[in-house]
Structure 1
Amino acid sequence: MDTKKLLVPLLIVGAFAGGMYLEKSKVQPVLTSSHQDTSYIGGYDESADKDKGNSKSVVKNAIEGKTHIVEDGDSIMKAVKAANSGDTIQIMPGLYHETVYIDKNDIRIIGVIQEGKRAVLDGKGKLNDAILYSGNNIVVENLYITKYKGNGVMGQAGNNFEIRNNIIVDTGVYGIFPQLGKNGVVEHNVVSGIEDAAIYVGMSDNIHVAHNEVFDSVAGIEIENSRHAIVENNYVHDNTGGLLAFITPGLPIKTTRDVIFRNNFIVNNNTANFGAPGSTVSGIPAGTGILIMAADEVIVEGNIITGNKTAGIIITDHENAPNTTIDPESDPTPDKVMILDNLMANNGYDTIDEAKALLLTEFKGGNPDIIRVGDHRDSCIINRHRYITVGVNDWAECNFNNTDSVDTYLLDEPVPAREIALEDKGKVAYLGICTGCHTYSGRMIGPPVQIIQALYMDNPKGLAEYIAKPIKKREDYPEMPPQNYLDETTRLAVAEYMLKVRN
């Protein structure tokens, strides 16, 4: 019997049941004419578009504001500027070419879907970002975003966010990227064609990522330097690597821990790696289902992991991971990794030479489901006899077999809005924006902060000017996108902070 053929219908049926399967050929923008019958708009309820039984909510606006309607041909950013806390911006189906920056609290950006037609934000391959938010209590929903160079939706130190029901295609570095936020939901999105991570959670806490489909990207869903995250019921296929839990050295927050990967479909993640040369994700071998690098307390449970040609699960420390530098303040060892029952089949059928060599050290052959390399502490596994493994012979037997008692790590009450004092503007902008592409000493999308410090030394004004209008300086790094949506005071503050920061 061909196990792979047997599993394909199962996967499709299961993904439909979870509400997350879309054929690639059908994920296309559909436009309508600029003339709209808006007579019913006042009664439009965006919550009707959600499956309330599956959705999580963290945004509870203290005040109910007014609704701003953006018609095809109007400016979304103009509506944002006119909005006050508590307001909703409804975007009618049409074509929009702009970057939207939200630096206010309690704003909802809701695309109105009419007969399958959505509001389409098209960067034309020229604009860097579609939606940037630094406000708290932000909702971004029902949009189609494509052809941006940097990010589809990026959060910059905003708490209590909901990003759902968006289709994001070919937006450069990241599709959905909440950075330095607390208490957030990323669900029911379809994201593809991303050169780093389709969904990337960076330096954040209390996050729920569920019911998304991510494909044709280097990394599917990545939890990096973050804590208390659940990633569940996602369809992750045809990426280079499916699910990632990383500690990236050189970032200001040094830990990743308390992460649950459960009930996901992780299938055929064999796409050739097209990440930026030298970046952390460019070291992921094609055919990786789940990759855990130095992260602690990661539970892998109830997933269907099939057809990943290198391995179903790889666990590594920093010493054995490519394209990483050692950070003396980061623990390089993955501790307390817990592998529970997962359906694993047809993995490791075309694995890399390093994996074959590891198998030989344990006098094993076959196609590896689970590979562990480097140091580790206090990890466990159940039903290990079901899998072909290497490096886990000394792991204990886990004393539990499910996480049924854990529904979510989202907080019962919203996190208070982040109040940023003038003297902290530079630090918050650095953490929320710059560290998305720059570590202190290692390589990410952009050069290390140490190199930037050497170039500008005592010239923060020159760095601030570069931040607003960057030019390509190095062939081995992509061109930096302009950050001119930041006001002049913030640009100077972040330049001054970046030049004095030390790891």
Structure 2
Amino acid sequence: MKFSHAAFAVPLILWLAACGETPAAVDSAAPAGPVPLSAEGDFGATLQGALIAAQPGDTILMPAGTFALSDSLSLDVDGVTLRGAGQGETILDFAQQSGAGEGLLVTSDDVTLVDFAVRDTKGDGIKSKGADRITYRYLTVEWSGEPDETNGAYGVYPVESKDVLIENVTVRGASDAGIYVGQSSNIIVRNSIAEFNVAGIEIENSTGADVYGNVARNNTGGILVFDLPNLPVMGGSATRIYANEIVANNTRNFAPAGNIVAGVPSGTGVIIMANRNVHVFDNTFASNRSAHVLINAYSLPFTDENYNPLPRDIVLRANRYTGGGDDAQGMLAPLAAAMGGQLPPIVWDGVTQWPGSELADVNLTIAEAEEVGFLNLGLGAYPLELSRLQPSPVRPASAAPAEPAAIILPQDKP
């Protein structure tokens, strides 16, 4: 006897419903995920078209492959995710870029950039401006060949933003800073690698930053926390630098002349300049040839009446130091020569005032083990004159400020 398939299907569905089960065929109707963009033809034009046409909530999926792009990319739609097939799988190659701009510029909020690489841009690698709640995750930005001043200035470059997350990012070869966050607030930089840049990681004119779990190696300077005058946002404060590996940052300084980081001495681990309430703890420092930690005032003339060039309320505690200090470079070379050729792990310029100001208490707390060397150069004020040095190994009296609270970001969810 031949059974009817339709007649059989009806009682089967009723039986499954009675048992509280759903036929497997229902699952096949679930919506599919995003379809990767086509790798055929002009991929740069295809990708830019998708970025323009995107709607909030969209995911743009890039296929695996190395794609030569001649023009910069831009995104100005909120709530978009741009995803590749992996840091080593989807590579946007800008070696033939026609202009001098960044590889990708983001000017919208709630954007996630994940799982791709950007290579050999003429300008910055990936820049975001005014982009709140932006996430950079599992990205690589690099410049091929030896470090060169013609490389782009910044690898990943969020600026003028709130709630910035940078994690599992690798940057190599930037002629200014590999990972840079400027004029922003509420920031996390974690579990990333910065190597062979002038500055590995830089937090500038920003408030509330946690920098942890990173590797800063083979840069000119490992991790920098600066505050500069004459910018729309000033008064940087409340940065925690902890649980990082800051090792062998001895690459020559290849920044273009006139750049602020062109003055960073090769061989510095952490530099804190003109910033407030910076806590450096539980880091591993090794083989930074000039000094592991340099604390200094802004040394150039300025006219901004609202600017304070002194570092203040700085805390160093429970860090580990190995080697280094035996081949000081740049402005530290003559100072080291005057000290007998060797600098200790921690060096402070001893500047406590600037022209027209009163003496200030910078409140520097050195809560390290007694065997960790410290040097106060006793400079007093800039300009630097070796004849005015009053070096002292005595740690200054201080009252350690409260450690800033941990940064919590709305987009940083388990």
Q: TM over 0.5: same fold?
A: yes
User: TM-score normalized by structure 1?
Assistant: 0.64
Q: Which residue of 1 aligns with 2:372?
A: 387
1:120 pairs with 92, 110, 121, which one? 92
Q: Counterpart in 1 of 2:161?
A: 181
- 2:103 aligned counterpart, secondary structure: strand
Q: Which residue of 2 aligns with 1:259?
A: 239
- Kept after mapping to 2: 8 A contact 1:318/1:326: no
Deviation at 1:382, TM superposition (A): 0.9
Displacement of 1:123: 4.2
Question: Could you say if the C-alpha distance between residues 353 and 109 of structure 1 is closer, same or farther in structure 2, counting changes exceeding 3 Å?
Answer: closer
Task: Pick closer, same or farther for the CA change 1:387–1:77 going to 2, 3 Å.
Answer: same
CA distance in 2, matches of 1:88, 1:110: 7
Which residue number in structure 2 is paired with residue 206 of structure 1?
186
* Shift in CA distance, 326/300, structure 1 to aligned 2, threshold 3 Å: farther
**Cα distance, 1:123–1:254 mapped onto 2, change above 3 Å:** same
Give the unaligned 5+ runs of structure 2.
1-30, 144-150, 353-360, 377-392
* Contact 1:366 1:388 survives alignment (8 Å): no
Alignment partner, residue 320 of structure 2:
343
* Residue identity opposite 1:380 in structure 2: T
Partner of 1:484: none
Is 1:72 aligned to 2:57, yes or no? no
1:353 Cα offset (Å): 8.0
- Alpha carbons 1:382, 1:397 under 8 Å: kept: no
Structure 1 residues 231 and 93: CA distance shift in structure 2, 3 A? same
- The aligned residue for residue 140 of structure 2 is 167
Whole-angstrom distance in 1 between the partners of 2:316 and 2:337:
23
1:478 counterpart residue number: none
Deviations along 1:274-320, one digit per CA (max 9) or x if unpaired, are 1010110000011111111101101000111111111000011113x
Q: 1:130 to 1:182 in 2, by over 3 A?
A: same
Between the aligned residues of both structures, percent identity stands at 27
Report the structure number with the largest CA radius of gyration: 2
Q: Is contact 1:245-1:292 (8 Å) kept?
A: yes
Provide the alpha-carbon RMSD of the alignment: 2.7
1:387, distance to aligned residue in structure 2 (A): 1.5
Number of matched pairs: 345
Which structure features the higher share of helix residues? 1
Q: Distance in 2 between matches of 1:146 and 1:315?
A: 34
Report the Cα distance in structure 2 between the residues aligned to 1:261 and 1:312, rounded to whole angstroms.
13
Superposed CA offset, 1:112-139 (max 9, x none): 239x522434342544221111100011
The one of 360, 371, 382 aligned to 2:347: 371
Shift of 1:397: 5.9
Deviations 1:142-180 (A, max 9, x none): 111011111111011110010010111126111000010
TM score, norm. by length of structure 2: 0.77
Deviation, structure 1 residue 82: 1.4
Give the SS at the match of 1:104: coil
Which of residues 105, 124, 128 in structure 2 aligns to 1:151? 124
Separation in structure 1 between the aligned mates of residue 313 and residue 340 of structure 2, nearest angstrom: 25
Query: Could you list the per-position Cα deviations for residues 424-454 of structure 1 after superposition, in whole angstroms to 9, with x for gaps in the alignment?
Result: xxxxxxxxxxxxxxxxxxxxxxxxxxxxxxx
Identify if the C-alpha distance between structure 1 residues 295 and 133 changes in structure 2 by more than 3 Å, giving closer, same or farther.
same
The Cα of 1:368 is off from its aligned counterpart by 1.7
In structure 2, the CA distance between the partners of 1:348 and 1:117, relative to structure 1 (3 Å rule), is same
Q: Quick one: distance in 1 between partners of 2:411 and 2:191? A: 23
Q: CA contact under 8 A between 2:319 and 2:368: conserved in structure 1?
A: no
Please state whether the residue corresponding to 2:293 is helix, strand or coil. strand
1:242 to 1:228, Cα distance in 2 relative to 1, 3 A: same
Residues 324 and 201 from structure 1, CA distance in 2 versus in 1: closer, same or farther, beyond 3 angstroms?
Answer: farther
Partner Cα distance (2:86, 2:121) in 1:
22
Pairing of 1:243-282 with structure 2 (within 5 A): 243-282=223-262
User: Is contact 2:72-2:97 (8 Å) kept?
Assistant: no
Per residue, is there more strand in 1 or in 2?
2
Q: SS where residue 50 of structure 2 aligns?
A: helix
Q: Is the contact made by 1:159 and 1:183 (CA closer than 8 Å) also made in structure 2?
A: yes
Shift of 1:412: 4.4
Task: Tell me the SS of whatever aligns to 2:312.
Answer: coil
Match of 1:235 in 2: 215
Higher RCO, Cα 8 Å, sep 6+? 1
CA distance in 2, matches of 1:69, 1:274: 39
Q: 1: distance between equivalents of 2:301 and 2:217?
A: 25
Structure 2 contact 220–267 (Cα < 8 Å) conserved: yes
